[in-house]
């Protein structure tokens, strides 16, 4: 399912990032970074909500908009019952839509927001997402102080909050089209190799987007997947070439690999993951490149492993999804 | 290509995944675990010897004192926040000895204290250690039974 949009634009974006992300190469592009993972709160969960709330504050401030200007906020995160999204949006009193598609949440938010704006029913939409390394570890894996060894293929959930403000007024950066992903099952069962779980979903969505829009990979200055990590990135390039006959190796990268310095930050293993991983890269570095017109056409493909610990313990496969949105600089 | 998701394609995908899978340094991991686990064993033996000579107690009692000491240290170091990094490095060298058991309980205790003494700490402290206790008791019963049947007690 691919849509084209006619009057949807990006007004502002905001990023608030945690200590590990601040040590990475993108620090100067973030609006704010913080040192302590508790961030002045009593629990990891409340810390994540606060980070997300700050990112919403930032996007309003940067766009010089007040709370009343926002028609709806679309928000999602990794926590059960999307708690971070709910607790962070409460103080703003925006009409609220909660969404979940794991690490593909950021682009799902952009797609829904853009579709609402394009329908003419609303003018300004915020789409936001967050994740927190510690709250995710606690919910999906082991207690955070437990030092379980992990394989090289494991990824590291990014900490931060990120928001994007979409509008129907021309700002020069257009949300041009989007492709809604499908849920795929490629018999993957390893929760410590999410890149292999998500690569087929990314390949499927990229292929269908290019096919529906009648484009080549070269049409884009950059194609960015969300959080495949070092090995997932290799798998995707190989899989796209052998299965779809498409060579994306020249203009493709992965946000999980870009968010950290993999040489010096050994603790992140294969790279970043989590819904905020792609959002932190897209809403900081990529937006900066678009604003400065260093790139004109970018395809963001957020990839999500629909991972449920319960289903993995029941020996079911891990499902995956990827959503794509195309951004273009217009004259 | 049009038959997306069929079995042949999934099989081919498995091959691509296998091709790009990094090799884990198993030999190195085993060596580190061997050495660090050995060091824990040596510390335990030294403690046992020391306790039995200092307090003039049997080596069986001294071994109990030694276990309590190791449990205390592993728990304290977990609470101080650096033991998880040691465990990540030493792997089974620290997980298999009693230090691993203490570490799993303390880390769960720290993690769930925010949810209160009953629904947090109480219900979650055995989250990781519960399996060790259950199967420890079951295997103790089983081997005890074997010993009774074969050796007559």
B4 inside domain: no
Contacts of B22 in chain A (CB under 8 A): 152-153, 231
Q: What pLDDT is recorded for position A323?
A: 98
**How many domains is chain B built from?**
1
- B117 belongs to a structural domain: yes
Report the pLDDT value the prediction gives residue B38, as an integer from 0 to 100: 96
**B139 in any annotated domain:** no
Closest partner residue to A146 (CB to CB) among B1, B91, B107 is B107
Contacts of A149 in chain B (CB under 8 A): 29, 87-88, 91
Interchain CB contact of A153 with B (< 8 Å): yes
pLDDT at residue B131 greater than cutoff 60: yes
What is residue B8's predicted lDDT score, i.e. its pLDDT?
A: 81
Residue B62 within any structural domain of the chain: yes
Residue B1 — very low, low, confident or very high, per pLDDT cuts 50/70/90?
very low
DSSP per-residue string spanning A58-98: HHHHHTT--GGG--EEEEEESSGGGHHHHHHHGGGT--EEE
How close B43 gets to chain A, by Cα (Å)? 21
pLDDT confidence of B6, banded at 50, 70, 90?
confident
Q: Which pLDDT score is estimated for A120?
A: 96
Burial A110-122 (b: 16+ CB within 10 A, else e): bbbbbbbbbeeeb
Q: Which domain holds residue B80?
A: 27-128
Give the residue-averaged pLDDT of B6-23.
90
Smallest CA–CA distance from A135 into chain B, residue = B111
C-alpha gyration radius of chain B: 22
Average pLDDT, chain A: 96
Region A118-122 average pLDDT: 96
Contact A153 B81 (CB under 8 A): no
Q: Which of B16, B110, B127 sits opposite A145 (nearest CB)?
A: B110
- Does residue B10 belong to any structural domain of this protein? no
CB contacts, 8 Å: B76 with chain A: none
Does B4 score more than 70 pLDDT?
no
| Reported confidence tier of residue A42, pLDDT bands at 50, 70, 90 | very high
Residues A282-317: tens digit of each pLDDT: 999 999 999 999 999 999 999 999 999 999 999 999
Partner B contacted by A146 (CB < 8 A): yes
- Is residue B73 included in any domain, yes or no? yes
Nearest to B13 among A42, A142, A200 (CB): A200
- Does the beta carbon of A156 lie under 8 angstroms from any beta carbon of chain B? no
For residue A20, is pLDDT > 60?
A: yes
Domains of chain A, start order: 2-167 (3.40.47.40), 173-329 (3.40.47.40)
Beta bridge partners of A179: A2, A324
- Pairwise CA distance, residues B150 & B153, whole Å: 8
Whether residue B130 lies within 8 A of chain A, CB to CB, comes out as no
Tell whether ipTM is more than 0.90: no
pLDDT surpassing 60 at residue B3? no
The whole-angstrom distance between A294's CA and the closest CA on chain B is 32
pLDDT at A215 over 80: yes
Instruction: Kindly tell me if the per-residue pLDDT of A86 is higher than 90.
Output: yes
How many CB atoms are located within 10 Å of the residue A330 CB? 11
Q: CB-CB: which of A144, A151, A231 is closest to B24?
A: A151
> How close B80 comes to chain A (CA, Å)?
10
- Predicted pLDDT of residue B153: 72
Q: What is the mean pLDDT of residues A168-173?
A: 96
Determine if residue A173 is left, alpha or beta; phi over 0 gives left, psi from -120 to 50 gives alpha, anything else beta.
beta
Does position A17 have pLDDT exceeding 70, yes or no? yes
Where residue B2 falls among pLDDT bands split at 50, 70, 90? very low
Confidence band (pLDDT; 50, 70, 90) for B5? low
For residue A186, which residues of chain B lie inside 8 Å, CB to CB? 5, 10, 13
Q: Chain B residue closest to A42 (CA)? A: B114
HSE of A293 in the Cβ direction (CA atoms, 13 Å)?
5
- In this prediction, residue B119 carries a pLDDT of 95
């Amino acid at each position: 399912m691919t849509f084209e949009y006619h009057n949807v634009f990006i007004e502002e974006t905001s990023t608030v990032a945690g200590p590990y992300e601040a040590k990475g190469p993108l620090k100067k592009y973030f609006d704010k970074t913080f040192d302590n993972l508790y961030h002045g709160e009593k629990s990891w969960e409340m810390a994540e909500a606060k980070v997300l709330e700050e990112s919403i504050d930032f996007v309003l401030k940067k766009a010089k908009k007040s709370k009343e200007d926002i028609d709806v906020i679309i928000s999602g995160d990794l926590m059960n019952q999307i708690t971070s999204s709910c607790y962070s949006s409460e103080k703003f009193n925006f009409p609220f839509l909660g969404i979940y598609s794991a690490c593909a949440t950021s682009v799902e938010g952009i797609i829904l927001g853009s579709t609402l704006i394009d329908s003419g029913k609303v003018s300004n939409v915020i789409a936001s997402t967050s994740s927190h390394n510690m709250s995710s570890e606690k919910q999906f894996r082991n207690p955070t102080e437990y030092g379980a060894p992990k394989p090289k293929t494991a990824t590291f959930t990014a900490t931060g909050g990120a928001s994007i403000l979409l509008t129907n007024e021309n700002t020069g950066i257009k949300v041009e089209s989007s492709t809604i992903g499908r849920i795929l099952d490629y018999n993957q069962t390893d929760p410590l190799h999410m890149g292999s779980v998500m690569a087929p979903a990314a390949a499927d969505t990229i292929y269908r987007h290019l096919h529906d829009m009648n484009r080549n990979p070269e049409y884009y200055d950059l194609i960015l997947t969300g959080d495949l990590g070092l090995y997932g990135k290799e798998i995707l390039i190989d899989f796209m070439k052998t299965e779809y006959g498409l060579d994306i190796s020249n203009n493709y990268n992965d946000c999980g690999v870009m968010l950290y310095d993999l040489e010096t930050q050994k603790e992140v293993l294969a790279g970043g993951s989590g819904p905020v991983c792609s959002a932190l890269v897209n809403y900081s570095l990529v937006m900066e490149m678009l604003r400065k017109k260093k790139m004109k056409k970018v395809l963001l493909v957020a990839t999500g492993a629909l991972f449920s610990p319960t289903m993995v313990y029941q020996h079911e496969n891990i499902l995956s999804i990827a959503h794509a949105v195309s951004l273009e600089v217009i004259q | 290509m049009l038959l997306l998701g069929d079995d042949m394609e999934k099989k081919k995908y498995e091959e691509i995944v296998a091709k790009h899978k990094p090799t884990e340094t198993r030999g190195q991991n085993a060596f580190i675990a061997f050495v660090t686990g050995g060091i824990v064993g040596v510390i335990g033996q030294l403690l046992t010897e020391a306790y039995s000579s200092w307090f003039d107690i049997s080596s069986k009692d001294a071994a109990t004192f030694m276990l309590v000491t190791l449990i205390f240290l592993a728990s304290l170091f977990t609470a101080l926040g650096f033991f998880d990094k040691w465990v990540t490095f030493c792997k089974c060298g620290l997980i298999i000895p009693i230090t691993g058991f203490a570490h799993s309980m303390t880390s769960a205790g720290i993690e769930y204290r925010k949810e209160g003494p009953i629904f947090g700490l109480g219900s979650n402290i055995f989250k990781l250690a519960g399996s060790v206790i259950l199967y420890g008791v079951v295997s103790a019963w089983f081997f005890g039974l074997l010993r009774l049947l074969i050796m007559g007690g």
